[in-house]
């Protein structure tokens, strides 16, 4: 797939030693995220079980037009458990167009905002994901069952 190959070709090849240095930095980043997660508490003082976050800054876009996957790739980098699911659909009759005050933060944000067209997006799924820590697949699946029931009951 050309767009995947372009992503792979972004950097020059590195040595095994350089690769292991990158892995050391990755493990340090994973530990920092782990420590941050452990330090978080809800208003009731309970620890955080899972995160409920978007999968993309938009609904589905035309094939090969996805330019940013930051809401999903960070959890891949961290080796966290993540489950993506549709949580509703865009409805041009109730959703609104972005306001004039929604100033893009950068070029990529501007591109993402231009993708949001109520006519084109009408009926497209709105994606969310549940994220748990490494090796917490059962907890994420259990939370997903609860979210699914909430979505069914609405």
Looking at the fold, whether 110 and 138 belong to one and the same domain comes out as: yes
pLDDT of residue 11: 83
Question: Averaged over 103-122, what is the pLDDT?
Answer: 82
The predicted-structure confidence for 119-143, as pLDDT tens digits, reads as follows: 888 888 889 999 999 999 999 999 9
Shared domain check, 72 and 21: no
pLDDT in tens, 3-26: 677 777 888 889 999 999 999 999
User: Do 56 and 127 fall into the same domain?
Assistant: yes
pLDDT computed for residue 27 by the predictor? 97
Reply yes or no on whether the pLDDT at 98 is more than 70: no
Using the predicted structure, report yes or no on whether residue 65 has a pLDDT greater than 80.
no
Top-ranked range on mean pLDDT: pick from 59-73, 87-101, 102-116, 121-135: 121-135
Q: Kindly report, residue by residue over 71-95, the tens digit of the pLDDT.
A: 888 999 999 999 999 988 888 888 8
Domain that holds residue 9: 1-48
Number of compact structural domains in the chain: 2
Residues 13 and 64 in one domain: no
Domain boundary among 15, 32, 48: 48
- DSSP track, the chain: -HHHHHHHTTS----HHHHHHHHHHHHHHHHHHHHHHHH-B-TTSPBP--EEEES-SSS--STT-----HHHHHHHHTT-EEEEEEEEE--TTT--PPPTT---SSHHHHHHHHH--HHHHTTPEEEEEEEE-TT-HHHHHHHHHHHHHHHHH-
Same domain, 39 and 70: no
């Amino acid at each position: 797939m050309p767009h995947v190959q372009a992503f792979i070709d972004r950097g020059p090849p590195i040595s095994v030693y350089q690769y292991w240095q990158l892995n050391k930095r990755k493990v340090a980043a994973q530990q920092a995220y782990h420590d941050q997660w452990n330090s978080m508490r809800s208003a009731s003082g309970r620890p955080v079980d899972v995160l409920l976050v978007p999968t993309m800054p938009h609904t589905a876009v035309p094939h090969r037009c996805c330019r940013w996957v930051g809401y999903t790739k960070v959890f891949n980098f961290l080796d966290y458990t993540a489950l993506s699911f549709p949580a509703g659909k865009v409805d041009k009759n109730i959703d609104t167009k972005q306001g004039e005050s929604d100033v893009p933060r950068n070029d990529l944000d501007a591109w993402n905002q231009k993708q949001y067209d109520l006519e084109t997006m009408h009926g497209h799924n709105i994606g969310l994901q549940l994220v748990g820590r490494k090796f917490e697949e059962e907890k994420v699946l259990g939370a997903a069952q609860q979210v699914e029931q909430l979505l069914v009951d609405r």
